[in-house]
Amino acid sequence: MSDADLAANLLDDVIGSRGVREPVKSMLDRAYRALNKCNDEWTRRRVRSIFNKETTRIDHREIEEMRAVIRARETHAAFKSETAAIAAMAVNSASSENRGETAR
């Protein structure tokens, strides 16, 4: 696998899930905004050229920044699911306590 193919695959992961009727332009803009937070050197043209596999040179920092965005997204998703589980336990605990008080 060439660096361009690896970068294009990583960019697909950075873009994330695509809506049914979501235009490619908005997907690429979402990827650009995520990558631009890491480094101001990212441009919309650079994101588009990686997506279309038009580029012949991929910098190591670009691959690492894409991986960092993917890791941050996975970490955030794990945090959200853990927080939702804790909130569900708190709701279940509160509702079981309320049922115990009404039975008395």
pLDDT on residue 103: 52
Task: Give the range of the structural domain holding residue 41, as residue numbers without chain letter.
Answer: 3-103
Using one digit for the tens of pLDDT, what is the confidence trace for 26-46? Answer: 999 999 999 999 999 999 999
Q: 12: how many CB neighbours lie within 10 A of its CB?
A: 14
Kindly give the interhelix angle for 24-38 and 60-103, rounded to the nearest 10 degrees. Answer: 100
Total count of domains within the chain? 1
Using one digit for the tens of pLDDT, what is the confidence trace for 45-73? Answer: 999 999 999 998 999 999 999 999 999 99
94, pLDDT greater than 80: no
Question: For the whole model, what pTM was predicted?
Answer: 0.77
